[in-house]
């Protein structure tokens, strides 16, 4: 759409008069004068470039941006409702991230041949974007906001998830949606001690680290998420510092565009202030009782929550009786603010937390392995009131999770996964009643984090597919890191030869600052192994996992608009210390992979089969393999040439399967056949393609093809008056190196064909020659 100057003047006049719909207003503003398309090119220190543009596509949205690197381009649109939903006390932010097959020139391979529900990878990427943007929305903002990430094109070089974060940052910055951005995000790799910024997929395959760093201006970290091949602490700190500095290049370019093309931010509807007298009444009636509850170390999760709820009900009833015109929900919201402030103040006033621990102490930990005999591996990990039950199931390589073409492209060419961690969080884990159904986004995210933490410890050539399930039985904070600890114990109990045990811990943060300036914190407290209430009322939840040597996974979520690098470094150091203490406790239950075999463990062996015996093993239409599986549960899979991988659920099943296999592969004395030797063959069957013959009694029939029957071209053996039981002379030329079949010929023993008798010619014509 092209506008003339006269049309633009008319549009601007109507905008001032507010006589255009909001969608047309956003379109007119984003177009700009002369049809100019705002665009910037971000240059990183390693010479790679990223282009971010706006104003050309999807102009009815409040904000739109396209981020491109290489041939991967992502468009993000930001749209927010004009007014908040009445009675809503939070900001509903929805991020939709979809990987489209059309963007990479592919067709979906499902039955419908179209994109269906979001995959696990798409959900995890949407959570990544959400956690990067949410901390910079004002607490008073309540309008429902939706970000849609649309893949325009995808190559096999650059991942689109980081591009989507930067496109979302620019779309929100240029829109009229109140947001305190921009932010910048980069992917950081580590190869031979050298930090890689926005590495390609091939570079990531050889990288020790895959870390996404989201930061805002003044080098404040907003979000961290990554995995590593046991990365040392100093290397991880170096990668975070470098990623934060590189993100500033993106922020500077977006700010430059925002000054020139950004729309004026809409005003936030102020929440009606509660009468000061009512605030004082709520505080005076609850402060002493809340302080007593939060300082009583005898309370556990349930008793503390019940005590706070009793105070809440009592305060609401008494205040409402004095202020009958005030809604009880408003009084309850004010009570929540008072409760939050008292809890945080106590952390600054005392050196103890609500459960009596100091800031660096761990909760009581107990571990138990080998819970039930039929399980390949099992463990129960208890940390405070967080309890996780983990089980390991070992199965054949055929049970590996097959990835579709698009998921394989995102995972660096990996076509199947032979290690899976499935995380379950039933409602009874928190003493609640709820519906148990499909996994939610939170469960997928926690399971993926624990899987990333344990994956580097598993051997790459393990002959089994490993499924680790983690069921949270009790939850009072950091259940995902408890899954890492319990999962590592279960793997050791299952005899999986992991490189080293792994453990995880959650680090919390409580801060004091003014005027939204988190660069200069007035004071802060770093909490090790946080409780659920410390996560809910705190400012950070940093989950860190790894072995004694280094880190394997990290995920940091913030509720404030960024923290300085100094706080990040201190938190990682405390996580390192806590991780070592947890591993010491875990080693008391089991130190290394179990050496002696359990009766229930599966068995895998390699079977070598001679080429001429393959048909005996497989049987007609695979009948023998099916019988072996149905009777013993053992599967045979063709591996290399002449070899089969035999998987049995137990040693007893393997022994039974071997008996059946030996019965099929009866080894009778086979006469030595000489290459080029002439032998008498007996015809056992006539076929359209030739005759089946045997050279000795125990030999399986071999095909003597029509082309080798006679010097003359024939279409059917009957043209030569051959019959079943007839003996003929053939010459032996060894076995085919690929199929293992005998190579026989009769025509080489005949002289050259000088002519065809009339009777034979007539018989050949009647048979279709």
Low-confidence winner among 252-266, 362-376, 508-522, 596-610 (lowest mean pLDDT): 596-610
Residues 440-467 pLDDT 10s: 889 999 999 999 999 999 998 888 999 9
CATH topology of domain 678-766: OB fold (Dihydrolipoamide Acetyltransferase, E2P) (2.40.50)
Question: Which pLDDT belongs to residue 274?
Answer: 78
CATH architecture of 365-434+442-549+557-587: 2-Layer Sandwich (3.30)
Question: Which pLDDT belongs to residue 598?
Answer: 87
Low-confidence winner among 21-35, 80-94, 456-470, 586-600 (lowest mean pLDDT): 21-35
Question: Which pLDDT belongs to residue 451?
Answer: 95
Mean pLDDT of the region 275-290? 91
Question: Which pLDDT belongs to residue 181?
Answer: 83
pLDDT interval class at 767 (50, 70, 90): very low
Mean pLDDT of the region 308-329? 91
Question: What angle, 0 to 180 degrees and rounded to 10, lies between the N-to-C axes of helices 160-174 and 120-133?
Answer: 40
The CATH number, out of the four listed (3.90.650.10, 3.20.20.20, 3.30.390.30, 3.30.1370.10), of the domain defined by the range 603-664: 3.30.1370.10
Q: Which residues pair with 190 in a beta bridge?
A: 195
Low-confidence winner among 477-481, 500-504, 506-510, 576-580 (lowest mean pLDDT): 477-481
Residue 28 has pLDDT above 70, yes or no: no
Residues 733-754 pLDDT 10s: 988 887 778 899 999 998 765 4
> Exposed, middle or buried by CB within 10 Å (0-12, 13-18, 19+), for 745?
middle
Does an H or E element contain 272, and which? none
Residues 501-546 pLDDT 10s: 999 999 999 999 998 899 999 999 999 999 999 999 999 999 999 9
- d(CA 769, CA 763) in angstroms, rounded, equals 9
Residues 194-253 pLDDT 10s: 999 999 988 998 999 999 999 999 999 999 999 999 999 999 999 999 999 999 999 999
Cα three-residue angle 540-543-547, rounded to 5 degrees = 150
CB count within 10 Å of CB 394 equals: 23
Question: Which pLDDT belongs to residue 407?
Answer: 63
CATH class of the domain comprising 37-110+118-261 = alpha beta
- d(CA 565, CA 430) in angstroms, rounded, equals 34
Residues with Cβ within 8 Å of 556's Cβ and at least 6 positions away in sequence, in order, are 221, 223, 224, 225, 540, 541, 542, 543, 568, 571
CATH code of 276-349, in short, is 1.10.10.400
Query: Are the folds of 276-349 and 365-434+442-549+557-587 the same?
Result: no
Low-confidence winner among 350-364, 663-677, 728-742 (lowest mean pLDDT): 663-677
Closest CA to 635 of 464, 754, 520: 464
Question: Which pLDDT belongs to residue 276?
Answer: 86
Residues 617-640 pLDDT 10s: 888 888 889 999 999 989 888 877
Residue 523: strand, helix, or coil: strand
Q: Taking the model in full, what pTM does it have?
A: 0.81
Question: Which pLDDT belongs to residue 12?
Answer: 52
Domain boundaries, the chain: 1-26, 37-110+118-261, 276-349, 365-434+442-549+557-587, 603-664, 678-766
């Amino acid at each position: 759409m092209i506008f003339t100057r006269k049309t633009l003047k008319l549009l601007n006049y109507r905008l001032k008069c507010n006589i255009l719909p909001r969608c047309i207003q956003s379109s007119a503003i984003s177009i700009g004068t002369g049809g100019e398309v705002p665009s910037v090119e971000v240059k990183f220190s390693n010479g790679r470039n990223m282009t971010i543009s706006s104003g050309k596509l999807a102009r009815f949205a409040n904000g739109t941006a396209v981020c491109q690197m290489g041939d991967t381009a992502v468009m993000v649109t930001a749209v927010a409702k004009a007014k908040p939903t009445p009675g809503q006390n939070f900001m509903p932010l929805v991020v939709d991230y979809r990987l489209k097959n059309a963007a990479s020139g592919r067709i979906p391979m499902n039955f419908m041949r179209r994109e269906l529900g979001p995959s696990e990878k798409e959900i995890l990427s949407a959570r990544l974007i959400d956690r990067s943007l949410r901390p910079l929305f004002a607490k008073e903002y309540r309008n429902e906001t939706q970000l849609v990430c649309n893949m325009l094109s995808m190559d096999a070089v650059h991942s689109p998830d980081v591009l989507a974060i930067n496109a979302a940052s620019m779309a929100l910055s240029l829109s009229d949606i109140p947001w305190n951005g921009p932010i910048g995000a980069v992917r950081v790799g580590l190869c031979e001690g050298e930090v890689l910024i926005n590495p390609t997929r091939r570079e990531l395959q050889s990288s020790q680290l895959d870390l996404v760093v989201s930061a805002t201006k003044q080098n404040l970290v907003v979000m961290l998420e990554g995995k590593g091949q046991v990365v040392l602490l100093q290397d991880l700190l170096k990668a975070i510092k470098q990623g934060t500095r590189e993100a500033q290049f993106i922020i500077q370019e977006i700010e430059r565009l925002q000054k020139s093309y950004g729309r004026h931010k809409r005003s936030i509807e102020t929440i009606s202030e509660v009468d000061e007298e009512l605030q004082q009444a709520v505080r005076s009636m609850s402060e002493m009782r809340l302080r007593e509850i939060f300082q009583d170390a005898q309370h556990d999760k349930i008793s503390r929550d019940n005590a706070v709820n009793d105070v809440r009900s009592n305060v609401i009833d008494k205040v409402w009786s004095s202020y009958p015109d005030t809604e009880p929900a408003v009084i309850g919201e004010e009570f929540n603010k008072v409760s939050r402030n008292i809890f945080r103040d106590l952390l600054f006033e005392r050196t103890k937390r609500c459960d009596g621990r100091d800031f660096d102490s761990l909760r009581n930990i107990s571990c138990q392995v080998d819970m039930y005999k039929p399980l390949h591996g099992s463990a129960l990990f208890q940390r405070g009131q967080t309890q996780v039950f983990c089980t390991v199931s070992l199965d054949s390589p055929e049970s590996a999770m097959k990835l579709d073409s698009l998921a394989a492209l995102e995972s660096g060419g990996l076509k199947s996964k032979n290690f899976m961690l499935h995380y379950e969080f039933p409602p009874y884990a928190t003493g609640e009643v709820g519906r148990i159904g499909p996994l939610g986004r939170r469960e997928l995210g926690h399971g993926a984090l624990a899987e990333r933490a344990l994956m580097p410890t598993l051997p790459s050539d393990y002959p089994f597919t490993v499924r680790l399930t983690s069921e949270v039985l009790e939850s009072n904070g950091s259940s995902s890191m408890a899954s890492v600890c319990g999962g590592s114990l279960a793997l050791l109990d299952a005899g999986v030869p992991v490189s080293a045990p792994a453990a995880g811990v959650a680090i919390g943060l409580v801060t004091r600052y003014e005027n939204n300036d988190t660069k200069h914190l007035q004071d802060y407290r770093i909490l090790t192994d946080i409780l659920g209430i410390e996560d809910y009322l705190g400012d950070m939840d940093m989950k860190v996992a790894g072995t004694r040597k280094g880190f394997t996974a990290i995920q940091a979520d913030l509720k404030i608009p960024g923290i300085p690098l100094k706080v990040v470094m201190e938190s990682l150091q405390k996580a390192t210390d806590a991780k070592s203490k947890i591993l010491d406790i875990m080693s008391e239950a089991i130190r290394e992979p179990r050496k002696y075999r359990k009766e229930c463990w599966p068995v895998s062996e390699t079977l070598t089969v001679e080429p001429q015996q393959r048909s005996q093993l497989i049987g007609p239409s695979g009948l023998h393999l099916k019988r072996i599986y149905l009777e013993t549960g053992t599967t045979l899979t063709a591996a290399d040439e002449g070899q089969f991988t035999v998987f049995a659920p137990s040693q007893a099943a393997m022994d039974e399967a071997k008996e059946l296999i030996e019965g099929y592969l009866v080894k009778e004395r086979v006469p030595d056949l000489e290459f080029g030797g002439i032998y008498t063959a007996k015809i056992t069957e006539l076929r359209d393609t030739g005759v089946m013959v045997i050279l000795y009694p125990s030999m399986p029939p071999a095909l003597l093809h029509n082309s080798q029957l006679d010097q003359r071209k024939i279409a059917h053996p009957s043209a030569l008056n051959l019959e079943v039981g007839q003996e003929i002379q053939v010459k032996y030329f060894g076995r085919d190196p690929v199929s293992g079949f005998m190579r026989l010929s009769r025509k080489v023993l005949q002289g050259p064909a000088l002519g065809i008798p009339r009777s034979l010619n007539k018989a050949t014509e009647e048979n279709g020659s």
